[in-house]
Structure 1
Amino acid sequence: MPIGRWFSTIVAAFLATLAAGALSEHAFAQTPGVQAGGNAYAVDGVEVDASGADAVKAREQGIRDARRKALQMLVDRMVAPEDRARLPQVDDARLESMTRGVEFVNERSAPGRYIATLNVVFAPDQVKAWMSGAGAKTVETVQRPALVVPLWKGQDGVQPLDDRNSWRDAWQQLGSGGAVPVTVMRGDQTDQGVMTPEEAYVGDLSALSRLNARYRVPIIIVATVEGDKAKGTLTVGGLRYDTQTGQRSEIPKVSVPDAGQLSDAAKKMHAKVEEDWRGIATVRRDAQDSLDVVVPIRALADWVQVRQRLSAVPAVKNVSVKQLESDRAELRLDYFGSPEELQRTLAQAGLQLDKDADRWRLQPR
C-alpha cells in the first residue's frame, strides 16, 4: 500500500474513533427538557414580601404571589417575546392547579407580614396546554452553570483567592437561577493548591483546566476588580473560559464609581454572559428538520473543534456521521428551528454554516 494512502487510512480510522466519542457526548448533552437543575419547569429563588390581616393570611398571600411571579419568570424563559402577549390571564385557582409543588427555601413571618424565598415547580402538561392553546411558540433555554473566580487587584497585586471582599459578596448574592446559574469559587486550600491568584488573573489555561477538574462546570468566569477597596473609581473586567471547547474570551473592562456599585456591576456582567448563552441555548421545538453538511478537515484539530462546538448547541438534536475521510466528514444534522436560525445559532457557537453551490459546508469560524 502506498505510504500516502496508508497514512490517510490511519487518519480516517482515528477520526472515526473521535466521531464515535463525539456522538456519545452529543447524545448526552442534548437530552430534551433536562436542565442542570433537573427540571425545565422549575423556577428557583422566587422572592416575595407579602402583607395580610395576620401572619397566616400574609403567608397565604405570599405563596400566591410566588406562584404568579414564578409563572411570569417561566414565561420569560420559555415563550418567544413576540408571543407573550397572546397568553391569557390565569386566575388563582387555575394557577394553583398548574403548580406541582412549592419548596420553602427561607421564610420569615411577622404580624401581618411574610418574607420568603421559594422554589416553584410547575406541571409540564398543564403549562404546555395553556401556552399552546394560545398559539404561543415555546422555547427552552438549557441551563449552563458557571464557576466565578472573583479577584481583586490592588496596589499590592492580586489578592489571595480566599480574600473576603464586596466583589465576592456581590457574586454570592446572585443565586443559582437563570440560564447561567453561578457558583463562587471557594478559595480554600484545595483551590489554592491548583491555581494561584496570578494564574487566575492572566487566565492561565493549564490552571483553569486543573480548577475545572474539581468543579466540573461548562464555563469559568474570572471576574476582576482593579483599584483601591476603600475609595475611588474601580475597573471591572475579566475573562470567560469555555471548558468544553477550550475557547477563552475577554470580558470588556468598564469603570465603576465606587465599591458600592459592585453589586450592580456583577449583575450586568452576569446578564451579558446569560444573553450570549441564550443566543445559543434557546430552542424552538415546534419546528424540526435535517440538513446534510460537509466538514472540511485540514487537520485533526478542525474535526475536534467542530464536534466539541456542535455538542454545546442544544438546537442540534442529533449528529450522524454519513462518511468520514481524511480530508472531510459528511454529517447529517437533525435540528430544531429553521435553517436561518440554525446558521445564527451555530455562528454564536463559533461555527460557520454556508451553502456552497448545492451543498452546505460547516467549519470553525
Structure 2
Amino acid sequence: MYPARQKTALVLLLWLLGAVGLSVISVSTVAAQKSALEDIFVVRDVILDERAETAAAARTQALAKGQREAFRRLEARLIRSVHRGLAESVDADTLRFLVDAIQIDDEKTSNVRYLANLTVEFKPDAVRNLFRFLGVPFAELRSRPLTVAPVLARVDRYILWDDPNPWREAWRNDPEGAGLVPMLAPIGDLSDLAGLSVDQAVAGEPEALAQLAARYGARGVLVAIANVFETEPGILRTDVVTVPVGLPEMAPFSISVVGIDGDGEAGLFARAVGEIREVVEDEWKAANAITSSEISRVRAAVPISDLKNWVDVRVRIALVPAVTNVQVVALTATAAEVEIDHRGDLTRLIRSFERFDLILEETGLGPGTTPGTGQPSAETPLTHVIRLAGS
C-alpha cells in the first residue's frame, strides 16, 4: 500500500501524464489542421515549358514565369474577380519575397528547352500583408464542399441520371476546383438514382436534396439546369439557371455562355462549369472577405466537460484564419473565459467558427464575470459563448 501522500503524488503524476498525452495528441491534430489551412497558400501543377539560347537560360526564365503564374492562381483563389490584376503589376523583388519555397518535379532539359512541373508555397503572412497594404479585400476561409445536381433541359424532357447527359459529364470531367469552394459532381450510381429523381431536383425538393448533400459530405446542393441551342449555324449557346438548396448565403443566379465556331456541347458546357465556379467563388469571397486590418475583440465563455474538450475547443479557435490572438483570462474546472482578437466583423467571425465546428452565440449578459464566481473580470463585456457543434 502507498502512504496517503505518495498516493496523492502518484495520482497527480498520472493526471499530468494524461494531460501531456492529450497535449501530444492535440499537437499532432493542430499540425494536421494547420497544414490543411496553409495548403491554401500552396499552388501546384504549374507546367513550365520554355525555350532560350541555352538550357540554363530557359530554366531561369521558366522558373520566373512559373512563380508569377503561381501567384496569379493564388490571387484568383483568394480575391474576387473584380479586384484581380496584382500578379501582372507586382515587381520581381516583391514576388521573390512572397515565395517561401518551390518544388520542381518531372524536370526535363535539352540544349535550348526546359520542361518541369512546379509547386510554389507562398508565405501566408507576407501575402496577407501585401493585400492589406494595397487595400484589396481577400478571403482565405475554405468552404465545406457543395454538391452539384446537373440537370439538362432538352426540348421534350429533363435529364439528370439518364445517359447521355453531357452537362453532367462536364462536371464529372472537371476537378472539384482549386478555389475556396469545392464543388462535387455526383457519381450517378444506384444510390443517387434511388435518392433523387429528376423531378425532385427540378422542383428543388429540400429533403431529397439534403440527402444527396449528406451522402457526399456537402453543406448543400446547387441545382444547375442547363439548356443548349444553336444561335446560328455552328454556334451553340447554353443558358443555365442555378438554384441553391441548403446554402443560405447564396441567391439563385443564371449565366449564358456562347460557344465558339465549331465548338461542340462538351466544350460549351466546360466553359459554363468554369463560369459557375467563378460566380460561386465570388459569392463566398464577398461573404467572407477581410476588408480591414483593424482588430476587434470579443470575450466569450467556454463550457468545459473535461480536459480533452477544452484542448479541442482551444485548438479550433486558434486555427480560425480571422483570429489573431487568443488569451485565456479565467479558467475553472467547468468553464473558461477567453478574449479573442480578430479581423473582420462579428458575422464573419461566427461564419468562420462554423467552418471549424464551433458555435459562437450571444449570451445576453452584461460585463464580464469570472466563471463560477460571478465577480467582474474585465472591462470587455462577456457577450458570447463558444461550444462545439452538436454538444
TM-score (norm 1): 0.57
Is contact 2:161-2:188 (8 Å) kept? yes
Deviation at 1:64, TM superposition (A): 4.3
Aligned equivalents of 2:131 and 2:158: distance in 1? 54
Q: CA deviation at 1:211?
A: 1.5
Partner AA of 1:220 in structure 2: V
Residue in 2 that maps onto 1:14: none
Q: Secondary structure at the match of 2:275?
A: helix
Q: Shift of the alpha carbon at 1:274?
A: 0.6
Q: Report the equivalent of 1:336.
A: 342
The answer to whether the Cα contact below 8 Å between 2:147 and 2:222 also exists between their aligned partners in 1 is yes
Cα 1:60–1:169, aligned 2, differ >3 Å: closer, same or farther? farther
Query: How far does residue 271 in structure 1 lie from its aligned partner after superposition?
Result: 1.0
1:123-142 deviation line (CA, Å, top 9, x unaligned): 53xx6357758983795512
Summarize deviations over 1:9-56 as a string: whole Å, max 9, x none: xxxxxxxxxxxxxxxxxxx9xx986657x6132124534443345889
* Larger radius of gyration between Structure 1 and Structure 2: 2
Larger relative contact order (CA 8 Å, sep ≥ 6): 1
Corresponding position of 1:226: 227
Q: Does structure 1 conserve the Cα–Cα contact (< 8 Å) formed by 2:148 and 2:184? A: yes
The amino acid of 1:143's aligned partner reads R
Work out whether residues 159 and 198 of structure 2, in 8 Å CA contact, stay in contact via their aligned partners in 1: yes
Structure 2 equivalent of residue 176 of structure 1: 177
Mapped to 2, the partners of 1:269 and 1:134 lie a distance apart of 25
Gaps (5+ residues) in structure 2?
A: 1-28, 260-264, 301-319, 329-336, 354-361, 363-380, 385-391
Over 3 Å counting, the alpha-carbon distance change for 1:34 and 1:240 in structure 2 is farther
In the alignment, the residues of structure 2 paired with residue 256 and residue 35 of structure 1 have an alpha-carbon distance, to the nearest angstrom, of 35
Deviations 1:308-329 (A, max 9, x none): xxxxx964789x9xxxxxxxxx
**Structure 1 segment 138-157 matched on structure 2, within 5 A:** 139-144=138-143, 145-157=145-157
Q: Report the 3-state secondary structure (helix = DSSP H, G, I; strand = E; otherwise coil) of the residue aligned with 1:46.
A: strand
**1:173-230 C-alpha deviation (Å, 9 max, x unpaired):** 3652122233322212232232222222222221222212321023432222124599
Q: What SS class does the counterpart of residue 98 from structure 1 fall into?
A: strand
Contact persistence 2:98–2:127 (CA under 8 A) = no
| Offset of residue 146 of structure 1 | 3.0
Q: How many pairs align?
A: 294
Aligned identity (percent) is 21
User: What is the alpha-carbon distance in structure 1 between the residues aligned to residue 149 and residue 169 of structure 2?
Assistant: 12
Q: Distance in 1 between matches of 2:108 and 2:199?
A: 42
2 CA distance for matches of 1:190 and 1:214? 9
Query: 1:257 offset after TM fit, Å?
Result: 4.4
Change (3 A) 1:280 1:79: closer
CA root-mean-square deviation? 5.5
Instruction: Give 3-state SS (helix, strand or coil) of 1:267's partner.
Output: helix
Can you give the 5+ residue segments of structure 1 that lack an aligned partner in the other structure? 1-27, 294-312, 321-330, 354-358
Given that 2:148 and 2:224 are in contact with CA atoms closer than 8 Å, whether structure 1 keeps it comes out as yes
The amino acid across from 1:213 in the alignment is A
- Counterpart CA distance in 1 for 2:85 and 2:129 is 11
TM (normalized to structure 2)? 0.54
Distance 1:287 1:49 in 2: 43
Structure-1 residue corresponding to 2:278: 271
